[in-house]
Amino acid sequence: MHQMVWMDDTASINNVRMDRLAFRKLCDMLHIHGGLRPSKNMEMDEMVSSFLHVLAHHAKNRVVARQLARSGESISRNFNAVLHAVLHLHRILFKKPKPISENCTDERWKWFQNCLGALDGAYIPVNVLIEDRPRYRTRKNEIATNVLGVCSHDMQFIYLLPGWEGSAVDSRVLRDAISRRNGLKVPQGYYYLCDAGYTNGEGFLAPYRAQRYHLNDWRQGHQPTSPKEFFNMKHSSTRNIIERAFGLLKGRWAILRSRSFYPIKTQCWIILACALLHNYIRREMSLDPEENSPLSDNSGAQELDGEHIRASGDRAQHVIDATEELARGQEHQAPTNEAEIGKNAGIGEINGNDSGSLTQIPNQGASSKNLNKKRPRSNDELTETLMETMKDFGKKYEETNGHMATIASYFKIESEEAERRMKVFNELLKIEGLSISERIKAGELLIVDTRKCDYFYSLPGDVRYDYVIQVLTDARVNTLYM
């Protein structure tokens, strides 16, 4: 333990990815806010250091047990205890979105006022049951989960949704994220940058299609030849922040670069914990030790063809849902499901645990006695139970129909609004003499005021420039006197 963390900052960063001061603060935070307590045989700093060491190096259970002179059962149990405590820090560690202001001087972000950040999907390798592998198989023939990530301009994660199958397309994962009870929320008038895998809509700004977009297209002296290409160039260089954030995340935590032998739910929780710890390191350390290192290859999630329509997203889970499930007491024991874990596993494995499996086999005799003591139910009771079940099913079915109608109406309105916004911006592009920032700002002002938008369309083309300048001037005056 002393050599792993407390010897010097270099050893601490190599083993647990943070210096000694940040490590001490993290232990205090997990104790106060995460509810972590030392176990009977292990101090709290030893529990946290072994947990971070597993994430940073994807160390096996038997390796960590040998390093710390502990049993494999203790390492597995304490790993899960720290994992649950980290998840309870989500309200503290997830970044609160902050829009880009009008006086922003950053060369990349100043073009996108009121932007909250960028989002994209990334593949994280996972280990699943054989019958589930077709749904998790990506276009590159890898078994992975499609993780939706949203980050701010300083590469801290705002939102993360792991668990969707690798065959699912980006737009489907985003649609699920915004429809969840604890899903991604975008305030009115603000937006996130996204790539062409998503459609333009309220709160999401995608690039122009059929135009040069990727950063490689603008290298070797290539310059944009149209306003759309100029917009795509600025959009690409700014949205790239989410790819860099995923690259840092994978580069920092080796457990995200290869499959781990946990149940799929635990693997998703590990992804969430890694993102929370990533935010903590960038917040507490003045210099991120991983930022100047070669980034891991982060291939964004790509759309797949029609044969991969079996993805359901039933295992996708946000961190709030995970903590609520933990609070209900549904996940108290270390994951040791042999059907999901397999052989040669890491933490929580069956065959690799030096102390044997943690799974307890119930007493066969006791179970038989309890079953024999149950009083057989009469036919009348069974009939009443069946009738009550059918009534409940009918109510749930009616509620589901109502929810589906609401969702369909919502996406229809979103589609019409997106079409109207694109039409306004296309008309602004036809007006000569306006800069890109003026067009973006004028578009925002027009689409939020239906009266101004209708009046803009009623004007002939030669006077629209004067009207746009007047709208921009009025907006600046109102801002000064607010």
DSSP letters, 403-466, are HHHHHHHHHHHHHHHHHHHHHHHHHHHTSTT--HHHHHHHHHHHHH-HHHHHHHHHS-GGGHHH
CA distances from 423 to 293, 420, 429 (A): 44, 5, 10
Q: Phi/psi at 240 (nearest 5 deg)?
A: -60, -10
Taking only the tens place, the pLDDT of each residue in 31-90 is 999 999 998 888 999 999 999 999 999 999 889 888 888 888 899 999 999 999 999 999
Coil, strand or helix at 133:
helix
* pLDDT for the residue numbered 390: 65
Statement: residue 350 has pLDDT above 70: no
Least confident of 9-18, 181-190, 237-246, 411-420: 411-420
Is-contact 5 13, C-beta < 8 A?
no
Please compute, for residue 101, the number of CA atoms within 13 A of its CA located in the half-sphere on the CB side. 4
Largest CA distance in the chain: 91
Q: 308 pLDDT exceeds 70?
A: no
Contact 163, 317 (CB under 8 A): yes
Q: Which residues pair with 323 in a beta bridge?
A: none
* pLDDT of 224 over the 50 cut: yes
Pairing of strands 191-193, 115-125: parallel
Residues 90 and 74: their CA atoms lie apart, in Å, by: 26
Q: Do residues 55 and 273 touch, judged by C-beta distance below 8 A? A: yes
Give the rounded percent of residues in the chain with a pLDDT score beyond 70.
71
**Measured distance between the N- and C-terminal CA atoms of the chain, rounded to whole angstroms:** 57
Look at residue 307 in the predicted model and tell me its pLDDT. Answer: 38
What was the pLDDT predicted at 309? 40
Q: Does 228 have pLDDT greater than 50?
A: yes
Please list, in sequence order, all residues whose beta carbon lies within 8 angstroms of the beta carbon of residue 332, skipping any fewer than 6 positions away.
Answer: none
Residues comprising the chain, all counted: 482
- Distances in Å between the alpha carbon of 404 and those of 47, 178, 180, 413? 46, 14, 13, 14
Q: How far apart are CA 404 and CA 417, in angstroms?
A: 20
